[in-house]
Every structure is written in structure tokens, then in C-alpha cells.
Amino acid sequence: RNGIQRPKGYTVSYHANPEMEKMHFGPKHPMKPWRLTLTNKIVLAYGMHEAMDLYIPRAATSQELKDFHREDYIEFLQRVLPTDNTWDQESGQYLFNTGDDCPIFDGLYTYCSLYAGASLDAARKLTNLQSDIAINWSGGLHHAKKTEASGFCYINDIVLAILQLLLYHPRVLYIDIDVHHGDGVEQAFWSTDRVMTLSFHKYNRAEFFPGTGALDDTGPLRNDSPGAHHSLNVPLHDGIEDDQYIKLFQDIVRPCVRTYQPTVIVLQCGADSLGGDRLGCFNVNIKAHGACVAFIKKFGLPMLVLGGGGYTARNVAKAWAYETSLCIGAEVHPNLPAHTPYLEHFGNEKTLFPKLDSLNRYENKNSRVYLESVVMGIMEQLRYLQG
Ligand code: V1P
Ligand code: CA
Ligand code: ZN
């Protein structure tokens, strides 16, 4: 119908549960699960569903969540209600770091177990060889810790999915292009050499959440610890441009793959690294963001593709729909199909690739020399892993 055909020689699975999309963090909160509805509408309007195996994933069980998270934290998420007083007098903090960033809303536990279930299902499609690329746009919530919520993330679905992959795969490469540091995933696999984590992000210790992810944050300091040099960080400044971002991504990922020889890649595609994002501060366009997905796909390794941040919903939806098309290897028309539901929501921008207008641009604080020094810093870390 739309000329979208199944990819030849490989299988893509798409894991989306519409129950997720109804959830609300609260009127002023930037995280809007509704962006997933917009994404799925565009994916369907183009006819991309013809080219993938679609799954409505089940919720993860509490036992599965406890594979990473501590029991008392999961039990808290299971029983807590928005009306409960969760202020802890003793510590002077809200329990388990809930609060403004991680509010307790109606259906919170359902929300958490659904996005985690989707990432687990997607990972298992890869390990049982039913898919080569598995996509879950509702996942990618990289800040959640073993015993607490952080930065809009409650359950770390990425850690749970990687733990599944590790049952079958000797080495997992985790790449994170969300504008924030993937601190929860880094911390979870800090001491192992079976997962390499690589995050690209805006870094400013005092002013930008979560304040970690400096270039010299590379794993345990003792050289005899297996995890040493297996956490890689690419700290960036405001305003990075398309060509710089693509070159940096390729110049860093290529040697990481060559040196580490992963058997599977997990890609967190946080869309807050796009220009015009409500929380982000880069000047990256949708085509450049997608170029990272296309570049990873070319390695031909099994791939778990996840969402993450992204706070200007129309751009998030366009980026993730475009990246779905790259996964299935379909060329899509640059204008959204006329029958796309909610088309009016996109205002004057019926194109899949809106140009970043000058009002939304950040001054580029990333010099060529700075970016070269970052690549050199990463290469230095990789040298420890050779031979
Ligand atoms: O900056 C902070 C905390 C709150 N302060 C005490 C420090 N929080 C950030 C959290 C950003 C989370 C990003 C998540 C992800 O990486 C993955 C899903 O994208 C924050 C910000 C901000 N501008 O950085 N929270 C909020 N804004 C916020 C705004 C309105 C209502 C609730 C939270
Ligand atoms: Ca990142
Ligand atoms: Zn983010």
C-alpha cells in the first residue's frame, strides 16, 4: 500500500503497549507518555507495521524487576498511592527519591512494569533469534538505580534487558545518545568487562542533570578490576551541530566496536538530544540523530533499540518514526502521510524533517579542537583494552 516491504534477510520486532500512553506524570511535568501515541500513529500511517512483527508486550513480573532492583523498593512502587505521605522525617527526603522529578501518579506501577516488560520481551526476541532488531520506544529509562528513582526513571529497563542478553551474549555494547548521562546503566555494570557503556551527553557537573559523565569517568580506578576502562563518556557542551555530532559518533563508536567486539548492541535513542527540545541544548536535527541508528545497524549485530528522554513531543515522534523506518530499511516520504491521525497537532510542520529555526538554536560551544581532544581521550581508554 505504501510501498513498505519486509526487510530481506532479517526481522524487526516492534514492542508497544497502548496502555502506557494514557499515563500522566502531572500537568507541569515534561515527561509525556502521550509522545508514544504520536510516534505509533506516524509509524502506522506510513505502513511500517507491514514490515515488522508487532507485539503488545506484557507487564514484567515483580520477580523480574527484582533481578536488578531491591525488594523493598519494588514493594514500595507496588503499594504506594498518590495520596500517601512519602516524606521521610528521618532522612529529610521523600522515600526512594520520589518527588518532583519522579512523582507518584495514578497507575505508576503499571507504567513501570509495562515499559520494563516491553524491554524484556524485546531482549528475549533477540536471544531466541526471532528478531535481529527489536524496538521499544517506551523504554530507555537510564537513570533508575537499584534502590531509588531518578530523573523521571523508576525501573531501569535497560539494565534488566542487558541482564537478559548476558545470559546468551559474552559482550554487550551499550550506547546512549540521550542528552543526559546514562548514569544508572553505567553504575549497574561498573565492575564488569562484559558490558561496555558509552554515553554521549551534555556535561556540566554543577548545572546539568545528573552532573556525572566526565571524560575521565571510565570505570573502577584499579587497573586489575575487570570493569576498568569499560565505562566511556563523551561530555559535550551546548549547541553541537549535525556534522560534528555524526562525525564524533562515528569516530568513537567505530573503534569501540573494533576493540571490544560486542556480540549485541543496545542503543538508547533519547530524543532530547534533538534541537528544539524542551530540556536539551544541542542543535542536532532528526536526520543526524537517525544517522547514529543507521550507523549502528551497519555493523550487522543484533540490536535492541530503546527510547529515553525527549520533551518536544512532535519532534520525538518524528525522530522515532524515522528511526523505525531506518531499522526496517524503508525509504519514507519526507512529508507525513495526509491520513496521519493528529496531523493538526503538527501545525505547519507536516514534514518528517522540520528545520531547526534560528530562535531554537543554541550557540555552539564545541570547538573542533575540543571534540578532537574528546576523541583522543576515548582512544586512550581503548588502548588499555587492546592485547
Ligand atoms: O535538574 C533536576 C533535579 C531537580 N533539581 C533538584 C535537580 N532534574 C532534571 C531531570 C532531568 C531528567 C532527564 C531524564 C532523561 O535523561 C531520561 C528519561 O531524559 C529536571 C529538569 C531539567 N531541566 O533538567 N527536572 C525537571 N526539569 C522538571 C521540570 C518540571 C517538573 C518536574 C521536573
Ligand atoms: Ca547520553
Ligand atoms: Zn535525557
Q: pLDDT tens, 78-115?
A: 999 999 999 999 999 999 999 999 999 999 999 999 99
What is the residue with the minimal CA distance to atom 23 of ligand 1?
279
**Alpha helix stretches (DSSP H) within the chain:** 34-45, 62-65, 71-79, 108-127, 157-165, 183-188, 242-260, 286-297, 313-328, 368-385
Q: Is the CB of 50 under 6 A from ligand 1?
A: no
Given this model, what pLDDT does residue 3 score? 83
Domain boundaries along the sequence of the chain: 12-385
Q: Is the CB of 99 under 6 A from ligand 1?
A: no
Given 69, 143, 169, 181, which residue is catalytic?
181
DSSP 356: P
For ligand 2, a single-atom ion, the residues with CB < 5 A are: 176, 178, 199, 201
What is the residue with the minimal CA distance to atom 13 of ligand 1?
151
Q: Is the CB of 184 under 6 A from ligand 1?
A: no
Given this model, what pLDDT does residue 347 score? 80
What value does the mean pLDDT take over residues 191-215? 98
- What is the side-by-side order of every strand in the sheet holding 12-15? 53-55, 12-15, 133-136, 303-306, 264-268, 172-176, 195-202, 231-236
Q: Is the CB of 29 under 6 A from ligand 1?
A: yes
> Residue 235 pLDDT more than 90?
yes
Q: Is the CB of 153 under 6 A from ligand 1?
A: yes
> Residue 364 pLDDT more than 70?
yes
Given this model, what pLDDT does residue 101 score? 98
Task: Give the phi and the psi of residue 149 in degrees, each rounded to 5.
Answer: -80, 160
Measured from the Cα of 151, ligand 1's closest atom is 12
Mutate-to-test residue for ligand 1 from 101, 105, 137, 278, highest number of ligand atoms within 8 A of CB: 101
Distance 150 CA to ligand 1 centre (A): 9
Given this model, what pLDDT does residue 349 score? 85
> Residue 2 pLDDT more than 80?
no
CATH (residue range 12-385): 3.40.800.20
Distance 92 CA to ligand 2 centre (A): 30
Proximal ligand: closest to the CA of 142? 1
Given this model, what pLDDT does residue 224 score? 87
Measured from the Cα of 310, ligand 1's closest atom is 19
132-190 confidence digits (pLDDT tens): 999 999 999 999 999 999 999 999 999 999 999 999 999 999 999 999 999 999 999 99
> Residue 1 pLDDT more than 70?
no
6-20 confidence digits (pLDDT tens): 999 999 999 999 999
Distance 130 CA to ligand 3 centre (A): 30
What is the residue with the minimal CA distance to atom 20 of ligand 1?
101
Average pLDDT value for the chain: 97
Q: Is the CB of 202 under 6 A from ligand 1?
A: no
> Residue 318 pLDDT more than 80?
yes
Proximal ligand: closest to the CA of 31? 1
> Residue 31 pLDDT more than 80?
yes
Q: Which residue has the cell 530481506?
A: 8
User: In the numeric block, which cell numbers belong to residue 253?
Assistant: 563508536
What is the residue with the minimal CA distance to atom 14 of ligand 1?
151
What value does the mean pLDDT take over residues 364-383? 98
What is the residue with the minimal CA distance to atom 17 of ligand 1?
309
> Residue 76 pLDDT more than 90?
yes
What is the residue with the minimal CA distance to atom 1 of ligand 1?
209
What value does the mean pLDDT take over residues 295-302? 98
Single-letter amino acid, residue 287: K
What value does the mean pLDDT take over residues 362-372? 98
Is 181 annotated in the active site?
A: yes
Split at pLDDT 50, 70, 90, the class of 223 is confident
Asked if 325 and 50 count as a contact pair (C-beta separation under 8 A), the reply is: no
The 10 Å Cβ neighbour count of residue 387 is: 4
Q: Is the CB of 7 under 6 A from ligand 1?
A: no
Mutate-to-test residue for ligand 1 from 136, 153, 209, highest number of ligand atoms within 8 A of CB: 209
The DSSP code sequence of 228-290 is TT-EEEEEE-TT-BHHHHHHHHHHHHHHHHHHH--SEEEEE--GGGBTT-SS---BB-HHHHH
User: In the numeric block, which cell numbers belong to residue 332?
Assistant: 519514507
